[in-house]
Amino acid sequence: MALLADDARDRVEQLLLVTERLAALIGEETRRIEARQPPLDGADSEERNRLANAYRLELTRIKHEPDLIAGAPPQSLALLKTRTEALNAVLADHETALSAIKLVTEGLVQAMADEVARQRNAGQSYGSQGALEPRPLSPTVLDRSA
């Protein structure tokens, strides 16, 4: 969804609103991650996705057509630059929080896989041909050591 603006000033003002709201939603999601609460869902999640898509599309349009904002007041452009820098800072914090979740999740998955492998290999014996005999598959039960 692209912004529908009357002129450069209107486009910059709309982009400011999108930038501010997107920063607020991403900041809230980061706060929820750090507080170990569920991520945004429902209408907030859909709004964040729509705004992120609109923001990306609008920046791409402006990159290819700089005249779209060339006539905007300098103070509006300066404010947009400031708010964009703030959004980038919020995005960096969000990326750090997501990276931490990813690291923990991957560690848990690896620990469970190691425990499953340990349980499956326990008690194997060599057969008459000198090779490990396959054990019949049984359901894996994860205990507190996993």
pLDDT (tens place) for every residue of the chain, 146 residues total: 667 777 888 889 999 999 999 999 999 999 999 998 888 888 888 999 999 999 999 999 999 998 989 888 999 999 999 999 999 999 999 999 999 989 988 998 898 888 887 777 666 667 777 777 666 555 555 555 55
pLDDT of residue 140: 57
pLDDT of residue 145: 54
Query: How many residues are there in the chain?
Result: 146
pLDDT of residue 123: 65
Say how far apart CA 92 and CA 26 lie, in whole Å: 10
Say how far apart CA 17 and CA 15 lie, in whole Å: 5
What is the SS3 assignment for 144? Answer: coil
Say how far apart CA 23 and CA 27 lie, in whole Å: 6
Q: Which domains does the chain have, with CATH numbers?
A: 8-119 (1.20.58)
Q: At a CB cut-off of 8 Å and minimum separation 6, what does 97 contact? A: 30, 33, 34
Say how far apart CA 47 and CA 41 lie, in whole Å: 10
pLDDT of residue 7: 85
